[in-house]
A = this chain, B = another copy of it.
Amino acid sequence: MKGRYFKQQERQVLEDIIQHRRTELGKNFLNQEIPETVLNRLIGAALAAPSVGFSQPWEFVIIRDLSIREQIKDCFEVENEKAKKIFRTKPSYDQFKLEGITNTPVNLAIFYKPSSNPILGQTSMDKSGPYSVCLAVENLWLMARAENIGVCWVSILDEEQVKQILNAPVENELVAYLCLGYVKEFTDRPQLELANWERRKSQESLIYYDSYQGNSSQ
């Protein structure tokens, strides 16, 4: 085989990073700056993600300005009030912070930028454009974990309001809004699992062979 050959020991490092990666819900962030060189390394990891047609359809807004983050937080509060009504039968919803917008040093808004020209590989499934941006998000997230930086994915936001606050071009789509910061702790298991909000699904229940017809996990 031509190209870099990876060995078992290296696979084990990746496995460790993947298994120890966590979603930080927002409570565990420390008041500690992220050096610019580290942030650039995270973005560099994102930019090496696969993108259908090598379209690289991603744009990143690095937000440190507190007044802008306070506007985003206002947007979260409005949306979270709506969410509380949806979960009124599950009062434990209130225990979660679910954002780290102003108690992290850096927020990152990651957008999908559609192309005005046709893109190779995107002519039949146009969702593969924004999906490519998600792959970049995961690269960044894993590199953040390797840098011992926690990530909070804030999705309780009104996309149009966020675009307005950030003066985003009308055609751009917000894919992910992340809060990044060093943390007190990476928990052993996901915080929503520890809180008994959701259970981990078994691998067997999620795998089918050849088709959905018949049994899973033959």
Contact = CB atoms under 8 A, between A and B. Distances in A.
30 contacts: A3-B20, A5-B148, A6-B20, A14-B146, A21-B48, A43-B207, A47-B203, A50-B151, A52-B153, A52-B155, A53-B192, A56-B198, A56-B200, A60-B206, A61-B210, A62-B209, A79-B123, A79-B124, A83-B123, A86-B118, A98-B120, A120-B192, A121-B156, A123-B156, A124-B155, A125-B156, A128-B176, A131-B134, A131-B137, A138-B138
Interface in A14-50: 14-23, 40-41, 43-45, 47-50
Interface in A50-69: 50, 52-56, 58-65, 68
Interface in A125-171: 125, 127-128, 130-131, 134-135, 137-139, 141-143, 145-148, 151, 153, 155-159, 165-169
A163 B112 CA distance: 26
Interface of A is mostly: mixed
Contacts of A135: 134-135, 137-138, 141
A165 B211 contact: yes
Contact of A211 (B16, B61, B192): B61
B124 A157 contact: yes
Contacts of A124: 79, 82-83, 155-159
Contacts of A169: 212
A50 B141 contact: yes
A63 to B, nearest CB: 6
B17 A54 contact: no
Contacts of A20: 3-4, 6
Contacts of A125: 155-157, 159, 174
A60 B143 contact: no
B4 A186 contact: yes
A59 B59 CA distance: 29
A45 B18 contact: yes
A127 B174 CA distance: 10
